Amino acid sequence: MIDRIIDYNKGFVENKEYEKFVTDKYPDKKLAVLSCMDTRLTELLPAALGLKNGDAKIIKNAGGLVISAFDSAMRSLIVAIYELGVEEIMVVAHSHCGACHMSYEHFHEQMIARGVTDSTLATIRKCGIDLDAWLEGFKDTPESVRRTVETIRTHPLVPKDIIVRGFIIDSETGELEEM
């Protein structure tokens, strides 16, 4: 698959198809969107929000979560605020998310089946990584959105004038519901 993508890319560049996407690194709408990496949202999310290339910083991860005050999602938001001029943040979870009810037990079985040893997992735990928490999803999507919004709003490095709001987008229709 990657080789096919590389072949496609050569034609994309040769035909200058990139020209319609040219912008700079600053989001025109001074907006950051934290959302899930779900494939249903790849085109639906920006279309449903009326965003085009260059309008917003879109940060995606499994579940659209900030799982700790200093994880990579939070780091990206801090950079977006201080380096890129973001003034508003939307947290956008979605219906029927795979991270809902996700658990370490589920991953543990799959890891073992794919060759990761219990010894390796024990070593990771000895290094202070709580795999149960790290791979835990959420049980309640609205509560997850509220918790992520609150984590961002109350973060000691987020200025009080930053607007943070949370939503759930319908994975089929794109309809937004504010939490």
Residues 96-151 pLDDT 10s:
998 888 889 889 999 999 999 999 999 999 999 999 989 988 889 999 999 999 99
Residues 58-84 pLDDT 10s:
999 999 999 889 999 999 999 999 999
User: What is the model's pLDDT at position 176?
Assistant: 98
Q: What is the DSSP string of 27-74?
A: -TT-EEEEEE--TTHHHHHHHHHT--TTSEEEEEETTS---STTSHHH
User: What is the model's pLDDT at position 25?
Assistant: 95
User: What is the model's pLDDT at position 102?
Assistant: 87
Residues 5-52 pLDDT 10s:
999 999 999 999 999 999 999 999 999 999 999 999 999 999 999 999
Amino acid at the residue 140: D
User: What is the model's pLDDT at position 18?
Assistant: 96
Residues 150-162 pLDDT 10s:
999 999 999 999 9
Give the position of tokens 């990657």. Answer: 2
User: What is the model's pLDDT at position 11?
Assistant: 97
Q: Which of 137-141, 162-166, 174-178 has the lowest average pLDDT?
A: 137-141
Q: What domains, with CATH codes, occur in the chain?
A: 27-99+139-179 (3.40.1050.10), 103-136 (no CATH)
User: What is the model's pLDDT at position 32?
Assistant: 98
